[in-house]
Structure formats: structure tokens, C-alpha cells
Amino acid sequence: MLGTIVNFLAIIAGSILGLILKGGIPKRISDTVMHGLALCVIFIGISGAIKGSNVLLIIISIIIGAIIGELINLDNLTQRLGDKIESKFKSRGWKVSEGFVTASLLFCTGAMAIVGSLTDGLQGNHEILFSKSALDGIASIIFASSLGIGVLFASVSVLLYQGIITLGAASLKVILIQSVVTDMTAVGSLLIIGLGLNMLGITKIKVANLLPAIFIPIIYQLILNLFPLLSR
């Protein structure tokens, strides 16, 4: 859990610094920086997506994940949570929802969040999450200066999401073979591309409703382990 805790603190520190700088950054500069960051997000997503080893499984994962996500309506739940947090600070004029949702999705769906948490839980190796902490800390400065205090609350999403994966990794050690991790990373990377397109205003993809897709490769591998004849 050390890697996740460091990541959590890095986002808080970066967000606070971003909020301090918020008033001193002209809107035109802030907007251009956000567009540039969106392009970087898309690049990161493409880099991870092309590493997928099972294209058919990735497609099926997205379809099944979308159905599950729509039935649960995770996008609405995430938005409502952001709005609820925002209502607590409405008297101070703080906008929370957009920054919370955007930052939570970016920090949680990336390849480093998945692989780093699994490596932390399986091997006790914090290196990937330490690197992610540095990147998220820098990104949170930019996001908080543009989207506000909601980015700071995204640190809690990271703590819970990565913490659960890290703690659950040991019990899933037999299932989490390299191909599964690679396909989970590829699916998560596709969601990051969607997030980047949303940031540019090109699309309005309900990225949160696609989150269950990340875990479909685990279920697929579990089925193969239970019924080995299916893998032949």
C-alpha cells in the first residue's frame, strides 16, 4: 500500500500548489495547457492500447463492460458524487464536480494505476507507483489550476481504487498472468483515449460507464482456469 499512499499524497500536494497558482494563470494560457494535456492523455492511451495481446477479448471486454456500466450507470453515480461534494462547498463558490470526475478517471484508468497496483500487491515493488506519483503530482498542478479543487478530492478515488487492487492482488495471483495484465492495461488505455477526446470537447463518451471493462479479462482467465478445455 505504500505506493498508493505516496500517490495519494502527491495528488494532494500537486492540487494545493495548482490552487495557489490558479489565480495567476490567464485563462487563454490555462485553456491551451488543458488542450495540450488532453493530447498527451490521448498519446498515453494509444501507447498502452496497442500493446494488447488479444484484440477479440479487448472488444468483448468493452462491450460487456459498457452493458454492465450502463445498467449500474456508473457515470451518473460518479457525477452525483461530484455534485454532492460540490454542494458542500457551494457557499464558497468552489466548482468540484468536473475536476473530481475528470481527474479521478485519468488517475485511475491508466496503465500505471493497474500494473503498478498489481506489482505492489504481488511483489511489494513500489517503483511503478512512485513514478506514477511524480506524474500525477505534476498533472494535478495543471488540472487544479484549471478545473479547481475537485482535483484534490480525486486523491481519495486513487486511494480507494489502487488500494483495493493492491490488497486483492495476492488472492488473484494465479489469475493475474502477464497476458491478463496486458489486456487489462489495453482496455484501460482505450478509456484514457476516450477521456482525452472528451477533454478536447470532441466527444461526450461516458467513460465511467466503461470502467467495468477493465476487469473482464480477469473473469475470462478465471473461466479458463475453471474450464481448461476452453483454452484448447
Cα 200 from chain centre = 17
Q: Is the pLDDT of residue 43 over 60?
A: yes
Average pLDDT, the chain: 82
How confident is the model at residue 139, as a pLDDT? 83
Most confident of the ranges 8-17, 101-110, 188-197, 218-227: 8-17
What confidence tens digit (pLDDT) does each residue in 88-104 have?
Answer: 665 555 567 778 888 88
Higher pLDDT, 110 or 78: 78
Cell 455534485: give the residue.
83
Q: With beta carbons less than 8 A apart as the criterion, state whether 13 and 137 touch.
A: yes
Dist. CA 62–CA 216, nearest whole Å: 8
* pLDDT band at residue 111 using 50, 70 and 90 as cut-offs: low
Q: How far apart are CA 197 and CA 44, in angstroms?
A: 12
Per the CB < 8 A criterion, the answer to whether 82 and 101 are in contact is yes
pLDDT attached to residue 93: 53
The full DSSP string for the chain is -HHHHHHHHHHHHHHHHHHHHHTTS-HHHHHHHHHHHHHHHHHHHHHHHTT-S-HHHHHHHHHHHHHHHHHHTHHHHHHHHHHHHHHHTGGGT---HHHHHHHHHHHHHSHHHHHHHHHHHHH---HHHHHHHHHHHHHHHHHHHHH-THHHHHHHHHHHHHHHHHHHHGGGTTT--HHHHHHHHHHHHHHHHHHHHHHTTS----GGGGGGGGGHHHHHHHHHHH-GGGG-
Task: For residues 172 and 177, give the distance between their C-alpha atoms in angstroms, rounded to a whole number.
Answer: 9
Neighbours of 64 (CB within 10 A): 16
How many alpha carbons fall within 13 Å on the CB side of residue 160? 7
The Cα-based distances of 50 to 94, 183, 230 in angstroms read 39, 10, 26
φ/ψ region of 201 (left if φ > 0, alpha if ψ in -120 to 50, else beta) reads left
Percent of the chain surpassing pLDDT 90? 13
Q: Cell numbers of 197, please?
A: 477526446
